């Protein structure tokens, strides 16, 4: 019998609950406070926590209904224990612990970042081993070498995360929060070669796998202030610079380590130009690229359930029930307390 795993994600402003049966996605329900957050131009932690409190019960019920399972059918629960906003995380962690205790099932407190990679199994089957993961979200940009159960961080951003850069640049050109999807759409009408924005650390041997986006953001703000370039051209040129640096370094990491599988994950992996350029460059280098479909890249509950299901298949020990929610979570650890 395939295990029925409930996954709960409340690390930021989305209340996500997914159900995975075996390796199959059975439900992925999302409630978001993004419209409330957009009024403030960013995520306000207290607003996010309150929205999670309201949404968590109904979203769990709906996910079970969509999957056609009752609470009693659940074999295990996985929940994001970090990284993220502690007040938000606590809502999901408390719900998961209470439900697990009530149902008498195991609970896995997992790393949100590892879930962004594991979600790809729902679409493309078992993850290859070894692989290079390019993890790009609102809070993180990392290149990881994953081999067996080992996760080796190769590099990360020295300043802003890739998603943060999208959100800040969107604000500069007058687009709403969260900026990534809006820049993606605006860029469709712009010229990616209109402005030659800087590619920071592109050729720095001391930072071969690291990123830096704050200089790019400053360069965009200078161009916007001059008001001579069409905003769509600014969006397209900015997006091109980010996609160029991310894919160049990801392919270099694969080549240097003799790894021929690259997996993209995190909200920025939903970006259409990043996906296309990664495909072109992976094809040219003979590397197999895997990118989850866009709605699985941005935060959701199915990714947490997918990681839970993977841990169960690997016979990982469940988490001790007293585990905390944590704002920081080392990128190389998958389960809290490991
Ligand atoms: O993984 P995610 O949903 O949440 C975090 O874990 O942070 O990532 C959110 C980030 C935001 O910065 C958002 O602007 C960005 O992902 N994002 C995008 C796109 N869709 C979401 N960035 C570029 N292009 C997109 N299509
Ligand atoms: Zn995320």
Per-residue pLDDT of 227-266, as tens digits, reads: 899 999 999 999 999 999 999 999 999 999 999 999 999 9
Token reading at 103: 């149902």
Q: Taking all residues of the chain, what is their mean pLDDT, rounded to a whole number?
A: 96
From residue 296, give the alpha-carbon distance in Å to each of 15, 67, 262, 304.
14, 17, 17, 11
> What atom of ligand 1 comes closest to residue 272's alpha carbon?
26
Give the structural domain span for 44. 4-118+300-313
pLDDT tens, residue by residue, 13-47: 999 999 999 999 999 999 998 888 888 888 999 99
Residue 55: its pLDDT value, please? 98
How many residues are recorded in the chain?
338
Same domain assignment for residues 233 and 309: no
Residue 327 belongs to some domain of the structure: no
The reply to whether ligand 1 has any atom less than 6 angstroms from the CB of 167 is yes
Residue 148: its pLDDT value, please? 87
Same domain assignment for residues 24 and 85: yes
Query: 17: closest CA among 73, 104, 78?
Result: 78
Residue 215: its pLDDT value, please? 96
Calpha distance 306→6 (Å, rounded): 9
Same domain assignment for residues 138 and 287: yes
Token reading at 208: 């071969």
Residue 297 has pLDDT above 80, yes or no: yes
Same domain assignment for residues 168 and 282: yes
What is the SS3 assignment for 327? coil
Residue 99 has pLDDT above 80, yes or no: yes
Count of CB atoms situated within 10 Å of the CB of 2: 12
| CA 13 to mean position of chain CA atoms | 13
- Domain containing 111 — which CATH number? 3.30.420.40
The reply to whether ligand 1 has any atom less than 6 angstroms from the CB of 82 is no
Residue 123 belongs to some domain of the structure: no
Residue 324 belongs to some domain of the structure: no
Ligand 2 geometric centre to CA of 134 (Å) = 13
Residue 118: its pLDDT value, please? 97
Same domain assignment for residues 304 and 210: no
Residue 127: its pLDDT value, please? 97
Same domain assignment for residues 181 and 219: yes
The reply to whether ligand 1 has any atom less than 6 angstroms from the CB of 111 is no
| CA angle, 136 then 260 then 292, to 5° | 40
Residue 17 belongs to some domain of the structure: yes
Query: In percent, how much of the chain has pLDDT > 70?
Result: 100
Same domain assignment for residues 65 and 145: no
Residue 211: its pLDDT value, please? 97
Number of the ligand closest to the Cα of 180: 1
Query: In percent, how much of the chain has pLDDT > 90?
Result: 93
Residue 318 belongs to some domain of the structure: no
What is the SS3 assignment for 108? strand
The reply to whether ligand 1 has any atom less than 6 angstroms from the CB of 266 is yes
Handedness of CA 151, 1, 72, 14 (dihedral sign): positive
Q: Residue 265 pairs with which residues in a beta bridge?
A: 135
> What atom of ligand 1 comes closest to residue 266's alpha carbon?
1
Task: Provide the Cα torsion 65, 71, 73, 76; round to 10°.
Answer: 110
Mean pLDDT on 1-11 = 95
Calpha distance 114→52 (Å, rounded): 22
Mean pLDDT on 325-329 = 95
Residue 253: its pLDDT value, please? 98
pLDDT tens, residue by residue, 139-197: 999 999 999 889 999 999 999 999 999 999 999 999 999 999 999 999 999 999 999 99
Same domain assignment for residues 188 and 62: no
Token reading at 76: 């295990």
Residue 212 belongs to some domain of the structure: yes
**What string of DSSP letters covers 158-210?**
SSS-HHHHHHHHHHHTTPPSSHHHHHHHHHTTS-TTSS----TTTT-GGGTT-
| CA 316 to mean position of chain CA atoms | 23
Calpha distance 5→17 (Å, rounded): 10
For 65, residues 6+ apart whose C-beta sits below 8 A from its C-beta are 27
Same domain assignment for residues 168 and 102: no
Instruction: Name the residue at shortest CA distance from atom 18 of ligand 1.
Output: 180
pLDDT band per the 50, 70, 90 thresholds, residue 328: very high
Residue 280: its pLDDT value, please? 98
Mean pLDDT on 116-139 = 97
pLDDT band per the 50, 70, 90 thresholds, residue 335: very high
CB 18 within 8 A of CB 34: no
| Residue 24 main-chain phi, psi, to 5 deg | -100, 140
Q: Please give the order of strands across the beta sheet that includes 76-82.
A: 24-32, 14-21, 4-9, 76-82, 106-111
What stretches of 104-161 show up as alpha helix (H) in DSSP? 112-118, 120-124
Same domain assignment for residues 247 and 305: no
Same domain assignment for residues 97 and 75: yes
The reply to whether ligand 1 has any atom less than 6 angstroms from the CB of 155 is no
Residue 147 belongs to some domain of the structure: yes
Q: Would you call the peptide bond into 302 cis, given omega within 30 degrees of 0 as the criterion?
A: no
Q: Please give the order of strands across the beta sheet that includes 131-136.
A: 150-156, 141-147, 131-136, 261-265, 288-290
Residue 286 belongs to some domain of the structure: yes
Domain count for the chain, please give it. 2
Same domain assignment for residues 188 and 48: no
| CA angle, 264 then 25 then 33, to 5° | 70
The reply to whether ligand 1 has any atom less than 6 angstroms from the CB of 211 is no
Residue 338: its pLDDT value, please? 76
């Amino acid at each position: 019998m395939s295990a029925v795993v409930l996954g709960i994600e409340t690390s930021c402003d989305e209340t996500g609950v997914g159900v995975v049966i075996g390796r199959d996605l059975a439900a992925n329900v999302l409630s978001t406070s993004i419209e409330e957050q957009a009024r403030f131009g960013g995520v306000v932690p207290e607003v996010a926590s309150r929205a999670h409190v309201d949404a968590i019960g109904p979203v769990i019920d709906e996910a079970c209904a969509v999957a056609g399972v009752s609470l009693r059918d659940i074999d295990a629960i996985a929940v994001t224990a970090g990284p993220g906003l502690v007040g938000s995380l606590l809502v999901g962690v408390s719900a998961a612990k209470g439900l697990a205790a009530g149902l008498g099932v195991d609970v896995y407190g997992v790393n949100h970042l590892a879930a962004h990679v594991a979600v790809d199994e729902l679409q493309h089957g078992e993850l290859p081993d070894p692989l290079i993961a390019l993890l790009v979200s609102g809070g993180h940009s990392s290149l990881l070498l994953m081999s067996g159960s080992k996760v080796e961080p190769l590099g990360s951003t020295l300043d802003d995360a890739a998603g943060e850069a999208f959100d800040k640049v969107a604000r500069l050109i007058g687009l709403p929060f969260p900026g990534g999807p809006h820049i993606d759409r605006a860029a469709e009408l712009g010229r990616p070669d209109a402005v030659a924005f800087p590619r920071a650390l592109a050729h720095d041997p001391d930072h071969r796998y690291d990123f830096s986006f704050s200089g790019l953001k400053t360069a965009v703000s200078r161009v916007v202030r001059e008001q001579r370039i069409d905003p769509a051209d600014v969006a397209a040129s900015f997006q091109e610079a980010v996609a160029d640096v991310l894919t160049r370094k990801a392919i270099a990491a694969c080549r240097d380590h003799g790894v021929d599988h690259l997996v993209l994950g995190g909200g920025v992996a939903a970006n259409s130009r990043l996906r296309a350029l990664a495909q072109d460059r992976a094809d040219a280098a003979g590397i197999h690229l895997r990118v989850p479909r866009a709605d699985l890249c941005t935060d959701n509950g199915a990714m947490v359930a997918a990681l839970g299901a993977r841990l169960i298949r690997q016979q990982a020990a469940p988490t001790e029930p007293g585990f905390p929610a944590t704002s920081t979570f080392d990128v190389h650890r998958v389960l809290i307390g490991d």
